[in-house]
Amino acid sequence: MSPVSTRWLRFAGLAIMAVWLAGCSQFTGDNRHMVPLPKAAVERLAAIGSSPKAPMLVRIYKESSELEVWKQTTTGKYALFKTYAICTWSGALGPKIREGDMQSPEGFYDVSPGLMNPKSAYYLSFNTGFPNKFDRSLGRTGSNLMVHGDCKSVGCYAMTDGQIKEIYALARETFSGGNRNFQVQMFPFRMTDANMAKHASSPHIAFWTNLKQGADIFENTRVPPAWDVCEQRYVFNRNDPTTQPLDPNGACPPIQSSAAMAYF
């Protein structure tokens, strides 16, 4: 066989292998984190006065197993984009305390691009950011507390693969719009007065009352509150935590105006 023929066969073999490998990659979903938003999702965003690149908020409710995605609209306020049924979560109502307690967390968290996991063993995922400075101030421990696919949970919030694919795409597009993070609010239940009264005897009621303060701000304003931690509790819209973070174990600053009193 001539040298030219040998080189041609080698090239053809490499080309065939490249096609085969590309096919395997596509089959295993290596680019699933880059799947475009469905046309229906883009149309729904437009219908509520939002867009894929607009800021985003996630709210989670354990008791009803619901995850909500909210998006900022052209008014500056947020509107509900969609409610997803959580496939499963683990533990009981109440906060996560320590590594291995099998509890899904509760609280206020910020998800940045570095917490996104496109190569998750659970289809796709993002880390909630637990433990945050509130959790650390109380010595709470845990790692890799995620919202992910695969419908299995050992302390996480598990969605179906189809759901997390859309939620992940929404987050990806939010970041592509220049947003540095999106807020995740995780609650034991919808923070209504009726539900608070129903669970008034719980040992977690003081913690939930604190969470309700932030939940109520969003209900009243449709704008996610800026959160920080002082005196080992959450405070909301008290200051800008990105420029003047509070000491989580130190004294809380005074409320600046009577208008803010309704929210603390």
Q: Does residue 156 have an active-site annotation?
A: yes
> From residue 262, how far is each of 151, 216, 258, 259 by CA, in Å?
39, 9, 8, 6
> Structure tokens of 180?
């540095």
Q: Find the catalytic residue in 156, 204, 230, 252.
A: 156
- Catalytic annotation present for 148: yes
Among candidate residues 87, 148, 151, 252, the one labeled active-site is 148
The b-or-e profile of 174-211 (16+ CB within 10 A means b, else e) is bbeeebebbbbbbbbbebeeebbeebeeeeeeebbebb
Residues catalogued as catalytic? 148, 156
